Structure 1
């Protein structure tokens, strides 16, 4: 009996997560489980692996969600668990290695057998393999059933699980995973994407930064249960007014007769000059001397002007109108000009516009749509047509490889092609879509360093003027400088938004080094230009910095959530903070509400931040979110440290975000931001959002969000309790909702009574702009609230990704949160 080995006990595979097993509570076996979610520990929810459990057929996953099943349930609640094999403690390392190889081979055979029978492939959410990728709260938790997060889309379809199951925070590093089977290249997935009904939003989209504020997200989500509150009603009324204002801005009549809404010569001169000194210096579309010559002829005989020129003139004035004043008082006229240009591009005889003049109109339409706000979120979709039009007329080939042409024609082609590339790249970053262009798709060189006047000479003979040295400032120098950084910037856009992109932190740092080298070269060039007369304008310098820093921010924002608890990502954390603070220091110099501090010359870039749409507000919002988040984190860490000394403090009284994400933080390294400066950043953000509403922005949710963040930060600064913090945020949101509603009422009244920008036909129709055309008129808060059904208040997130002048929405269930974040940039 003594030599009889003890009977081996049968050990059931553990099905509960590690945290629930440790706490000895029932686990629902989801990822993350509800216990971990309630405990604010969803990021650390993980399971012990067991190689004895074979993969189950028909595992729910991403494809089932596409086919109509509940996306959150499919992505989170049906995760197959693999537990570790029990091994003899006396086994040698060689035996253990052989055992691992044998198990991997057996598992691979099982999966291949399943796939060979045509059964459903095993689909594993990548968050199970790498818990650092699951950083609660996810967008899908807060943005509703039709707006959900896809993590490692292609990798979720991999049939063979990886050999590495680690709880170490690796970030979205897929290159470190090891498998004994060859992986299908099509399965390489993007780290983090969001599917918002018909829109697939890659990593560069702004929405990925919203979920880094869990306390505010959870608080605002709870408002759905209080539909009778004053704040809920105020936001609902603001939504009705916003829709009415959008509809009132839509031109009612469009005809084939263009140029009927040209303002007086004096105003037209101001708008054209504003465009020429701002956007034309960044995105070269026109040859300025030729344009001025035709502009003078237009005023001599308006009826004899080319239609293409009239459309170009109107688009230049539309862009100039954005920077005309702090209220964007010509918004309705600018919107009409953009609509007329789009209508001109769609009219019959399309072949007659398949030339350089037609492409110039196309470029101006895209620039105007973006800055004026006429479907700015859809510019990327139509930018593909613009690029194909440019290729169709041969702009992707350098003029030196085409039949001989004048220097003016050759340089104009190079300038317009580079503008097409910039529009395509910027819209890709704004929309979160891939750029769909590579360096191998064209051989057109960057523009040569000429002034526009140099191109007017007769260049058909041997006396061709030579371009100026690169360090000499000309009309094209800024575009040339940006073109020198295009290669690394388009690489960043592809890296972030291509669903096949395999991301890792090392690769992100390598791309960051390339961008740093390119930006330093550009900075040195601009510094040399500043010493010259004439040199670059303040608008050019600020716009270039604004444009370049978004790429630094885009590289590091996906890692910012991990940086809170893992010091390995400290570089990303610090860079995001610095980018946010740089933006604030530049933007705060412009104070639209303080006439005593106005400069003698108009601050075009400051007005652009207030009145512009598209990438201007996207970049500004991302910068301010990054800087604000660091401040909230540091206050959380300070408060957590103080509460940890109070032994009588119970878990129920602790701040949710600090209780769950205390981690190591960065507190031991000292604060990275000054408290007074960060409070100044938050106060400026509120002022900025308020100024945008005064300038015609109908989205009040960004204003509410900024106010809530400021209230939260001030509460944390004063060491407020959790209940006090909630009350402060609630009161701040209520106050800002009332203020925003009053501003929208003033805007609605002004549009209803002002017919100064109407044509004759529209003036006769202005009386019909009433309840029948635009829904219930709002004369009071109760009337507005009663005019809208409850289901409409809690079932749609107005993305503004369609034409913002039309009343078209994506109906996405947010559980009441849509009232707070509807139309949020």
Structure 2
């Protein structure tokens, strides 16, 4: 193989003749050799170009280079600097000087310049990139601390992508992260300015109102401790008297069961009747536990004051103890799934660690997926029509509970429509579905006891979109255009939902289910627009969301307070102390209102949103009025503002131990009077006036809580007039597994719906 041509590296100094003859040249013109030569060849000095350095290299540093090694760049990256001392073409120069000195100087300058540039490039490429240059969405955390409400950290989405407002995406409080659909995410931005009025006055010293609130909190802790039975609480066969048990069972079947299908009613009634007709026969433990959960749910709507709350709490504790046994395989049965569903509903509505329902619902989903309930029975081994239909009903109810828990808690749904293929329950009444049935009954085209559950299932995909839209981890945050698009989808689904339920409106037995399901749909519509309500008070760009929130919450309030003046054709002036009617028969509207007032969780939290949103809207109208003299009220908003205060008191009479909801509604009502009068109070005068009104409201709560302490102390933990007492089931207290109790870690925090406002933090618990 031919060798490559050898290239000279030294500059040429000899003439061409001496180079060819390989003789010593004295570098003269002509040189001595050429002068003595007989051939008389011209003495010529060749000017060869400067040899190039080894091939150009990439400016980017080699990834295989050892750490700290300085990268090098190509010599051609920067042209050589001109030499001021070099001889120009117009100046005569000696050939020897031009050949020997100029190239050497240029080479030295070029090497020096290259080394300088290499050092600059190395420093530039090794410097870390400034954080401001990374175009990723940022999150701003605003900390709000108040003597009245405690400390909250509001996580807002930045306006990096052109949004003019910072939207609250979640709130950190104590050890919890509350998503956008949680009612606290709408309460903090709306009430922030209101709290700022009284906060300076509260921090000056320790006003009397804080001492009263502290006393109320102490009484609340005593009440909670008296209500809680000892743990563990093994289930017994103790039941209330027959007439009371019949009422509680019927209340459950008239309310909860019409919306959330859990039981096969004929089978349940048969087993229930057998307990009373054959008292000598010991009933199965799993049915006794199931029955007591039914009684606990019926107790929520039994009377206006939830007088059976201690008994309902004990029944729930018994079910928790029973389900915490460290036995897994025997628990994978349809009867146990029914019991666990009833337990979730009871925990939420009776308010026994109700805030942990979202966690427990996730555990239940994984349990039933293990059993295959997420698959349609037509894709599983052959089973009876009864078993197939019950599996569809239970899976449908679990989907509904999980989605509602996601909205209430503000947690992501962690489920999609691609995760299951189980179809909706068929439109078959319970009487047509028996255990010994061999053929699948034909779907009924008319209304049945499953019609409401089927109608809600048809809206499940769009409601799931709302929950994901609000609570999923999305760094950019939702845009308003996406909100409006989803609003159109929800409204279209709502229209079809109402159309499908129209035949049920004339059936008294289904009136509660229709009203409750419309309440559920309105909750999703208000949750979609609630994040923009605070911004709409400052920016007209969100006026549509403001109108939607107000209109929907007024409809919801009519369900929570059926005697509201805004529900009448003509709105009368608000009374100073509105009270619920007495002396008339109970209707489905009364039962739904009782579930909202006495219960907690999904239904109660919407009414809480009304309690601060509608007064804020009223205050905005009063402040925007530029007329002379007293400001005219919007009577509907003014009526709801006063009715909310009365409703908060009713909640406390029904067992609510937190006084801050009642105090907040009283303070907002007092501010309404100030704004309506058109007075010119300065900040200090307004703060003192509001604090005085708060003291009056707090003082009124103390006797109510003290009476509640005495009442719970007298009741103790026993149920009234028990029919039978066979003692605890053997083995239930010997080997129970607390790790299966997904809510046990939440019990010490308290159970009140307004307990999020409690400023106390458990020792040793921090938000990591």
Pair in the same fold by TM > 0.5: yes
Task: Check if 1:366 corresponds to 2:366.
Answer: no
1:751 to 712, 721, 734: 712
With 271-280 and 584-593 compared, the bigger mean Cα shift is at 584-593
Which structure has more relative contact order (CA 8 Å, sep 6+)? It is 2
Structure 2 counterpart SS, 1:140: strand
> Match for residue 268 of structure 1?
245
Structure 1 counterpart SS, 2:669: helix
1:574 to 522, 535, 547: 547
Structure 1 counterpart SS, 2:144: helix
How far residue 261 of structure 1 moved from its aligned partner, in angstroms, is: 3.2
1:635 to 622, 627, 634: 622
Task: Check if 1:497 corresponds to 2:471.
Answer: yes
How far residue 550 of structure 1 moved from its aligned partner, in angstroms, is: 1.1
CA offset digits 1:131-159 (Å, max 9, x no partner): xxx9xxx563559996312223xx79xxx
Structure 2 counterpart SS, 1:405: coil
Structure 2 counterpart SS, 1:378: helix
Structure 2 counterpart SS, 1:148: strand
Supply the distance in 1 between the matched residues of 2:136 and 2:301 (Cα, whole angstroms): 51
Structure 2 counterpart SS, 1:456: coil
How far residue 545 of structure 1 moved from its aligned partner, in angstroms, is: 1.7
Q: Contact conserved, 1:285 with 1:419, CA < 8 A, in 2?
A: yes
> Match for residue 599 of structure 2?
612
Supply the distance in 2 between the matched residues of 1:529 and 1:240 (Cα, whole angstroms): 48
> Match for residue 784 of structure 1?
none
> Match for residue 703 of structure 2?
742
CA offset digits 1:675-711 (Å, max 9, x no partner): 2221110111011100010111101100000111111
> Match for residue 517 of structure 2?
544
Q: Contact conserved, 2:261 with 2:397, CA < 8 A, in 1?
A: yes
Q: Contact conserved, 1:318 with 1:337, CA < 8 A, in 2?
A: yes
> For the structure 1 residues 214 and 808, does the alpha-carbon distance in structure 2 shift closer, same or farther, using more than 3 Å as the test?
closer
How far residue 743 of structure 1 moved from its aligned partner, in angstroms, is: 0.7
> Match for residue 156 of structure 2?
151
Q: Contact conserved, 2:614 with 2:641, CA < 8 A, in 1?
A: no
Q: Contact conserved, 1:147 with 1:195, CA < 8 A, in 2?
A: yes
Supply the distance in 1 between the matched residues of 2:233 and 2:139 (Cα, whole angstroms): 54
Task: Check if 1:468 corresponds to 2:468.
Answer: no
CA offset digits 1:344-388 (Å, max 9, x no partner): 111132321121111111100100000000011111011110000
Supply the distance in 2 between the matched residues of 1:322 and 1:630 (Cα, whole angstroms): 32
Supply the distance in 1 between the matched residues of 2:608 and 2:598 (Cα, whole angstroms): 14
Task: Count the aligned residue pairs.
Answer: 598
Task: Check if 1:199 corresponds to 2:176.
Answer: yes
> Match for residue 484 of structure 1?
458
> For the structure 1 residues 424 and 277, does the alpha-carbon distance in structure 2 shift closer, same or farther, using more than 3 Å as the test?
same
> For the structure 1 residues 600 and 554, does the alpha-carbon distance in structure 2 shift closer, same or farther, using more than 3 Å as the test?
closer
Task: Check if 1:564 corresponds to 2:506.
Answer: no
* Structure index of larger Rg: 2
Q: Contact conserved, 1:315 with 1:338, CA < 8 A, in 2?
A: yes
Q: Contact conserved, 1:712 with 1:729, CA < 8 A, in 2?
A: yes
Supply the distance in 2 between the matched residues of 1:507 and 1:737 (Cα, whole angstroms): 44
Supply the distance in 2 between the matched residues of 1:718 and 1:145 (Cα, whole angstroms): 31
Structure 1 counterpart SS, 2:433: helix
Q: Kindly report the root-mean-square deviation, in angstroms, between the aligned alpha carbons of the 2 structures.
A: 3.4
Q: Contact conserved, 1:374 with 1:805, CA < 8 A, in 2?
A: no
CA offset digits 1:270-317 (Å, max 9, x no partner): 111110111011001110000001111122237522211111100000
> For the structure 1 residues 428 and 808, does the alpha-carbon distance in structure 2 shift closer, same or farther, using more than 3 Å as the test?
closer
Alignment of 1:719-730 (within 5 A): 719-723=678-682, 724-730=685-691
Structure 1 counterpart SS, 2:642: helix
Supply the distance in 2 between the matched residues of 1:289 and 1:808 (Cα, whole angstroms): 35
Q: Contact conserved, 1:148 with 1:194, CA < 8 A, in 2?
A: yes
> Match for residue 209 of structure 2?
231
Structure 1 counterpart SS, 2:703: helix
> For the structure 1 residues 428 and 148, does the alpha-carbon distance in structure 2 shift closer, same or farther, using more than 3 Å as the test?
same
CA offset digits 1:763-817 (Å, max 9, x no partner): xxxxxxxxxxxxxxxxxxxxxxxxxxxxxxxxxxxxx9975676699xx999989
> Match for residue 228 of structure 2?
250
> For the structure 1 residues 601 and 145, does the alpha-carbon distance in structure 2 shift closer, same or farther, using more than 3 Å as the test?
closer
> Match for residue 277 of structure 1?
254
With 616-625 and 690-699 compared, the bigger mean Cα shift is at 616-625
How far residue 581 of structure 1 moved from its aligned partner, in angstroms, is: 1.2
Task: Check if 1:717 corresponds to 2:694.
Answer: no
> For the structure 1 residues 291 and 139, does the alpha-carbon distance in structure 2 shift closer, same or farther, using more than 3 Å as the test?
farther
> Match for residue 585 of structure 1?
558
Q: TM-score, normalised by structure 2?
A: 0.72
Supply the distance in 1 between the matched residues of 2:233 and 2:650 (Cα, whole angstroms): 35
Task: Check if 1:169 corresponds to 2:164.
Answer: yes
With 331-340 and 556-565 compared, the bigger mean Cα shift is at 556-565
> For the structure 1 residues 537 and 145, does the alpha-carbon distance in structure 2 shift closer, same or farther, using more than 3 Å as the test?
closer
How far residue 563 of structure 1 moved from its aligned partner, in angstroms, is: 1.2
> Match for residue 388 of structure 1?
366
Supply the distance in 1 between the matched residues of 2:335 and 2:611 (Cα, whole angstroms): 39
Supply the distance in 2 between the matched residues of 1:420 and 1:583 (Cα, whole angstroms): 24
Supply the distance in 2 between the matched residues of 1:553 and 1:520 (Cα, whole angstroms): 16
> For the structure 1 residues 342 and 406, does the alpha-carbon distance in structure 2 shift closer, same or farther, using more than 3 Å as the test?
same
1:422 to 379, 386, 400: 400
> For the structure 1 residues 449 and 214, does the alpha-carbon distance in structure 2 shift closer, same or farther, using more than 3 Å as the test?
same
CA offset digits 1:514-543 (Å, max 9, x no partner): 100111111111222224xx4653321221
Structure 1 counterpart SS, 2:326: coil
Structure 1 counterpart SS, 2:172: strand
Task: Check if 1:399 corresponds to 2:377.
Answer: yes
Q: Contact conserved, 2:611 with 2:665, CA < 8 A, in 1?
A: no
Q: Contact conserved, 2:470 with 2:528, CA < 8 A, in 1?
A: yes
Supply the distance in 2 between the matched residues of 1:741 and 1:611 (Cα, whole angstroms): 20
Q: Contact conserved, 1:223 with 1:816, CA < 8 A, in 2?
A: no
Q: TM-score, normalised by structure 1?
A: 0.67
> Match for residue 33 of structure 1?
none
How far residue 565 of structure 1 moved from its aligned partner, in angstroms, is: 2.6
With 309-318 and 217-226 compared, the bigger mean Cα shift is at 217-226
Structure 2 counterpart SS, 1:151: strand
Structure 1 counterpart SS, 2:625: helix
Task: Check if 1:705 corresponds to 2:710.
Answer: no
> Match for residue 53 of structure 2?
none
> Match for residue 90 of structure 2?
none
> Match for residue 585 of structure 2?
599
Supply the distance in 2 between the matched residues of 1:480 and 1:706 (Cα, whole angstroms): 38
> For the structure 1 residues 227 and 610, does the alpha-carbon distance in structure 2 shift closer, same or farther, using more than 3 Å as the test?
farther
Supply the distance in 2 between the matched residues of 1:735 and 1:560 (Cα, whole angstroms): 31
Supply the distance in 1 between the matched residues of 2:179 and 2:538 (Cα, whole angstroms): 24
> For the structure 1 residues 335 and 600, does the alpha-carbon distance in structure 2 shift closer, same or farther, using more than 3 Å as the test?
closer
Structure 2 counterpart SS, 1:147: strand
CA offset digits 1:224-243 (Å, max 9, x no partner): 43554321211110000000
Q: Contact conserved, 2:663 with 2:697, CA < 8 A, in 1?
A: yes
Q: Contact conserved, 2:451 with 2:501, CA < 8 A, in 1?
A: no
Supply the distance in 2 between the matched residues of 1:303 and 1:235 (Cα, whole angstroms): 52
With 399-408 and 493-502 compared, the bigger mean Cα shift is at 493-502
How far residue 245 of structure 1 moved from its aligned partner, in angstroms, is: 0.3
Q: Contact conserved, 1:140 with 1:148, CA < 8 A, in 2?
A: yes
Q: Contact conserved, 1:250 with 1:806, CA < 8 A, in 2?
A: no
2:482 to 494, 504, 507: 507
> For the structure 1 residues 541 and 139, does the alpha-carbon distance in structure 2 shift closer, same or farther, using more than 3 Å as the test?
farther
How far residue 622 of structure 1 moved from its aligned partner, in angstroms, is: 1.4
Supply the distance in 1 between the matched residues of 2:758 and 2:376 (Cα, whole angstroms): 54
1:733 to 694, 711, 720: 694
